[in-house]
Chains A and B, each alone.
Chain A
């Protein structure tokens, strides 16, 4: 009886081991489907004073409750609406999820209302769904010109509308003037355009510039309902020159000479010690010379 029980148990265990899992496995109804993510595209246009337009997207998605920047996604930029849409180009997002494209003046086409219709779209990839975002702005331009009167420094900024094909000044619009710094632009002041679309903003005369004293001055109209973002820049030698050369540091490992005190200390120490050695070696030579002749 016991032997039969042993045979049965062994056979059952052997069957369990060699039989494929699907024989006894059931369909797992609780199995989750692969999660998909809906990306969010932030899309802005910046109209420059050289008549080009910078298109910039930032792609994010909420993954596990955290808004995460998405890298390596192909973003397609187009201009125009529906049937008249024209592809401008494709850019892959960097590790900050940013894709930027510079649209040249000859690529720009406006609709009947004189507006620029930009679209940034993502076709979808793996678990990330497709997405698109549209920017519609009127064609406009900022112009910046340095003005120097005696010791007073200023910039004259002019805002013009280009949607009709002719330059039309835009009044009563507040815009800012900035100076480019290492990480971001520093705001110097703001002004509101007059009837001729112009405003003058004063510039401090003690700003640190580069090695030659150059300052990059920016005029910006940010997030305007009609024109979106506009920007104009000019480089002017109005800053205090700040040398980018590293001053010689005598103590530094890379300086050409050590400080004098270090050299003197070194020479004194080394000559003292090696001087002792020399005296001892002379003593040993004398010792050798004084070997009695009677012993061979």
Chain B
């Protein structure tokens, strides 16, 4: 594989990162593993003793797990939509950041559905979902949509990685032999011939086109699980677009945060530049305004309608003795803060934008919680002789432990992937430039361009 000067420079810069695991990385890995072990113990308790160890009961049958599920599927939009749209529009500045975006997509799509499984009371009947699916059920739609979306995301990431795998293969990295074999296998014989480039290009274009409607369908289906039930706060026609917009929004936030972390961690200032934060900040501003509009529209219509059950939920959200503070945080940090930070030139800086993203992502997690729990705490039929703990939900340590384990798994996967592939795609740089330099490592294989 021939590399031009820019590619060579980018590769040389990142080569030590994927060759050495490093003490810091080990420490992080062990830290995340400890959280995952704690989550494993919590999972063991949940399986052994049943869902009684969680805060979920007859009334509030969904809690933290579903909030996490929607959250992770939401942030998976970072790669799917942002990367897909920027690819179709052939936006040049996307190149250094698309790998991070696509990695977020794949990892989040792996972790998100695990939280759905944690809600399943009877694991022994899990295979019934595949053996006896009922196409009429939104849950079946969700299973099919997410598995299709996951497959697409893996293909999309892999397509973008093939050229880089070929570079790693030919560079003879100082890595264990099994890893060299894996790089070779994953490069599937790519040597950069015009015909091979064409195959990749066709595939990438196809995936970029299909992944956008697919991602929209997936999150719409997810919203319909709520929107198609006659529950206050859920039964809304705008839930589909509302969920989609919120997903892209939170995905953008996570992407900005990841960019900020990697830029500092691996000193990638030459590649992930200030302009990337500002451009994504603009995208975040537009999405934030749209999300704010949807939020206002949703709650205004519910409030103005004054339908009894809707009013109950609205009251819970606006009452400071119930969810008022959380609702305020979700809207201030989730809507106003990112808009103001990006709107003013003084705060339109990578650090500020990343900070706003952090708050926004946290606020959108809270928002997902507020979509689920207050509604379930407002049963349509008054239930007599029910216990207070059945009506009021509060998560137990088991649910928190599994939530933190999920977040730790997300970070662990990210850490491991960043040690397996370069965060900045090497091959994406300089396609238009003339290849002037080749990898000078001894034993590297060179194919004429």
Contacts and interface: CB of A to CB of B under 8 A. Distances in A.
Interface of A: 251-253, 255, 258-259, 262-263, 266, 269-270, 272-274, 276-277, 279-280, 283-284, 286-288, 290-292, 294-295
Nearest to A266: B135
Considering the complex of A and B, which 5 residue pairs feature the smallest CB-CB distances, nearest first? A291-B189, A258-B135, A287-B199, A280-B203, A283-B199
A280 B199 CA distance: 8
Contacts of B135: 258, 262-263, 266
22 contacts: A253-B137, A259-B136, A262-B135, A263-B135, A269-B217, A274-B148, A276-B206, A277-B151, A277-B152, A277-B155, A280-B155, A280-B207, A283-B200, A284-B162, A284-B199, A287-B188, A287-B199, A288-B189, A290-B189, A290-B193, A291-B188, A294-B447
B90 interface: no
A270 B218 CA distance: 12
A253 B195 contact: no
A276 B137 CA distance: 25
B202 interface: yes
B437 to A, nearest CB: 19
A292 B191 CA distance: 7
A280 B206 contact: yes
A279 to B, nearest CB: 6
Nearest to A272: B210
Contacts of B144: 266, 270
A263 B134 CA distance: 11
B184 to A, nearest CB: 11
A283 B202 contact: yes
Contact of A258 (B134, B195, B207, B217): B134
Contacts of A258: 134-136
Interface in B123-165: 134-137, 144, 148, 151-152, 155, 159, 162
A284 B134 contact: no
Interface in B191-220: 191, 193, 195-196, 199-200, 202-203, 206-207, 209-210, 214, 217
Nearest to B151: A277
Contacts of B190: 287, 291
Contacts of B445: 295
Given A277-B155, A286-B199, A291 B191 contact: yes
Given A270-B148, A287-B196, 5 more contacts: A258-B135, A276-B206, A277-B155, A283-B202, A295-B447
Contacts of A277: 151-152, 155
Interface string B388-415: 0000000000000000000000000000
B189 to A, nearest CB: 3
A276 B155 CA distance: 11
B136 A288 contact: no
A110 to B, nearest CB: 44
B134 A283 contact: no
A226 B191 CA distance: 109
B334 to A, nearest CB: 31
A295 to B, nearest CB: 6
Centre residue among B137, B159, B196, B217 by max chain A CB count within 10 A: B196
Contact of A273 (B152, B159, B189): B152
Contacts of A290: 189, 193, 195-196, 199
Contacts of B152: 273, 277
A269 B445 CA distance: 44
Nearest to A265: B135
Contact of A288 (B188, B207, B209, B217): B188
B134 A276 contact: no
B183 to A, nearest CB: 15
Nearest to B158: A284
Contacts of B159: 280
Given A253-B136, A258-B135, A273 B148 contact: yes
Contacts of A288: 188-189
Contacts of B210: 272-273, 276
Contacts of A274: 148
Nearest to A256: B134
Nearest to B135: A258
Interface string B426-449: 000000000000000000010100
Contact of A262 (B136, B155, B162): B136
Contacts of A270: 144, 148
B155 A295 contact: no
A96 to B, nearest CB: 13
A258 to B, nearest CB: 4
Nearest to B445: A295
Contacts of B196: 287, 290-291
Contacts of B206: 276, 279-280
Nearest to A259: B136
A252 B135 CA distance: 10
Interface in B273-315: none
B435 to A, nearest CB: 16
Interface string B23-61: 000000000000000000000000000000000000000
A272 B209 CA distance: 12
Contact of B200 (A259, A263, A266, A287): A287
Q: Which of A251, A255, A259, A284 has the most CB of B within 10 A?
A: A284
A241 B135 CA distance: 35
A274 B144 CA distance: 11
A283 B137 contact: no
Nearest to A291: B189
B447 A273 contact: no
Contact of B447 (A252, A266, A276, A292): A292
A261 to B, nearest CB: 11
Nearest to A274: B148
Contacts of A269: 217
Nearest to A249: B136
Nearest to A286: B199
Contacts of A252: 136
A265 B202 CA distance: 27
B279 to A, nearest CB: 29
A246 B207 CA distance: 46
